Amino acid sequence: MGRYNSYIGYFRATYGERLQKVVIDAGFTCPNRDGRVATGGCTYCDNAAFHPGYSTPGIPIYKQIDEGITFHRVRYRKAEKFLAYFQPYSNTYAPLDRLRRIYEEALSHPLVAGIVIGTRPDCVDDAILDYLASLAEKHIVIIEYGIESCHDRTLARINRGHTFADAVRAVEMTASRGIRQGAHFIFGLPGENIADMMEYTEAINRLPLHSVKFHQLQIVKGTAMEKEFASHPDDFVTFSLDGYLDFMTDILERLRPDLYIERIAGEVPPRFVNSTPWGLIRNAELIRLLENRLEERDTWQGRLLGKKPAL
């Protein structure tokens, strides 16, 4: 058994194989873009920086899946089943009838075992969650909430347009229906220090989550955050690779051992950023380095559960 609870390990143990995600762009937007709660979107966001070229809005869902499977089979030759991953923007932000058409088209593909839906905590309601619970009776259904921070001052500063209380409400509503769910958090957002980021562990441990995904902040060209970083660099904690490995180890030590860890860092293609301080290191290598760091410190996920860090 490893020193932390791997999400890939969960799928292999549960389904006997890796289920590869295929990213789908179904043409959604977000309520902090279209004016419902704000405009401009999240200050760090450029969706083109993190979703592949084969997923293009306007192309039928079924065709995007076919092209995504072809793309991934170059790397994962033994992959037999796939998860349609609705990733860009807020993928429950539409009338229920439209959501039904989109999700059910994806699930009709013979190689799709289920769907993963990336969305915001303020873009679900009882009707949507009831429908997703009905789908989950026959298919794999996972909701991935972008929470990003547990601090309301940060959420306001990055123009999220929702509060942490909104996230708690959505996660609890989802858990009450037995739907598997994960959450996404970003380390290094403006105005947060290491102590602020360590507080995420307490907040996460209280939430009925199945998995969690962490990214380090990457400053993407052309975003509002690029301008903010240039004007106020002292408001940002930036991690060296070695420092991030130690920080992630500190985080893992304080997380519930039953939580599955889906990602520990993000990858943005170099053309979207002004610098690559960690070089061109890939996630597989980061995972290997983290596992080595956990072994060096003879520690594991949950070892210091409930204990405050000495900062």
Report pLDDT digits (tens) over 76-90: 666 778 999 999 999
pLDDT > 70 in the chain, percent: 95
| Beta bridge pairs of residue 84 | 22, 115
Amino acid at 251: I
284-310 pLDDT per residue, tens: 899 999 999 999 999 999 999 987 777
pTM for the model stands at 0.94
Provide the greatest CA pair distance for the chain. Answer: 52
Buried b or exposed e, range 113-127, using 16+ CB within 10 angstroms: bbbbbbbbbbbbeee
240-257: pLDDT as tens digits: 999 999 999 999 999 999
Q: Encode burial over 268-289: b for 16+ CB neighbours within 10 A, e otherwise.
A: beeebeeeeebeeeeeeebbeb
Q: In this predicted model, which residue has the larger pLDDT, 51 or 221?
A: 221
User: 164-175 vs 126-135: helix axis angle to the nearest 10?
Assistant: 40
Asked whether the beta carbons of 185 and 148 are under 8 A apart, the reply is: yes
Averaged over 5-34, what is the pLDDT? 90
* Both structure tokens of 18: 């890796």
What six digits make up the tokens of 122?
């303020």
CATH of domain 7-296: 3.20.20.70
Domain parsing of the chain, residue ranges: 7-296
SS3 state at 39: strand
**Which sign, positive or negative, has the C-alpha torsion 55, 59, 60, 66?**
negative
Least confident of 201-210, 229-238, 279-288: 279-288
In sequence order, the 6+-apart residues with CB closer than 8 A to the CB of 151 are: 164, 192, 196, 199
